[in-house]
Structure 1
Amino acid sequence: MDQTLKQRIRTRVSRTKKTDVFIPRDFADLSGGDQVLRALRALVKDGALIRLGYGVYARAVRSRLSGRVMVSSSNGFHGAALQALNKLGVPWEQGDSTQAYNLGQSTQVPVNLTVKVGKRFSRRLSDGRTELRVER
């Protein structure tokens, strides 16, 4: 029994344990680029994936409290955003406010995830509520 491309991508997403973030290149062996993007859009519509940005998708789960689709990562959106940067090959380090807090130089807890990127990075990563802030 042949599976559709959407079913094969859903199966691969559910079986992959080491990452919660996916890019279309991860599924290039299954079909052509246009078909993979169409299947990813359908999985976003179904609530199996959530789109974080251009060409970046994360495993999703429906919240038991609100019923909204949210990122299914151990560290939520922040963990998924950092995984996305790693997967895209973007060198990064923690932002100044996070570094100051971790070193004990500040008692103010950083609310938003802020990272410094080592090279040009113009994408926006967001889960609809929270956005990754990039320092230069």
Structure 2
Amino acid sequence: MTIARKVKVRINRSKRYVFARADFADIAGYDQVGRVLKKLVDAGDLLRIGYGLYTKARKNRITGNLMPASPSGADGVILEAIEKLGIDYKFDEFSQRSIDGDSLQIPSFISNCYQ
């Protein structure tokens, strides 16, 4: 099995949506994995969301543009990436109350307060 095939199979089988280049270090070297990930981005299978960070992609049914495949949307991808990087965070008061079910008002976006 080729390196590209191994990487693609791992991505397709994963329940996660955010991947770092280091997730594939056991498959091949740094540069080889980078080339494979770039080809997957060019093919529309992945979106590059940061230096060495990628997310699964899908086409938007309305616009035809690529978007994160996560059911939680961009907010879910951001939170998964932050957790993957080990960054401490907490939600603002209004977002946290909505998540906890203490408020019926839904914030228009999730804002994070970094510590």
Q: TM-score, normalised by structure 2?
A: 0.86
1:50 aligns with: 47
1:67 pairs with 2:64: yes
Matches within 5 A, 1:113-128: 113-118=110-115
* Distance in 1 (alpha carbons) for counterparts of 2:84 and 2:97: 26
* Distance in 1 (alpha carbons) for counterparts of 2:92 and 2:25: 34
1:132 aligns with: none
2:38 aligns with: 41
State the SS of the aligned residue for 2:49: strand
State the SS of the aligned residue for 1:79: helix
Give the counterpart letter for 1:61 in structure 2.
Answer: R
1:82 pairs with 2:79: yes
| Match of residue 20, structure 1, among 3, 17, 20 | 17
State the SS of the aligned residue for 1:59: strand
Name the one with the larger helix percent.
2
What value does the CA root-mean-square deviation take over the aligned residues? Answer: 1.8
1:6 Cα deviation (Å)?
A: 1.9
* Distance in 2 (alpha carbons) for counterparts of 1:55 and 1:6: 17
CA deviation profile, 1:5-62 (whole Å, cap 9, x unmatched): 2221111100112x11100111010111111111111111101001111111101111
State the SS of the aligned residue for 2:79: helix
**Structure 1 runs (4+) greater than 4 angstroms displaced:** 100-103
* Distance in 1 (alpha carbons) for counterparts of 2:53 and 2:34: 11
1:91 pairs with 2:88: yes
Counting aligned pairs with the same residue, the percent is 34
* Distance in 2 (alpha carbons) for counterparts of 1:66 and 1:80: 20
Structure 2: give runs of 5+ residues left out of the alignment: none
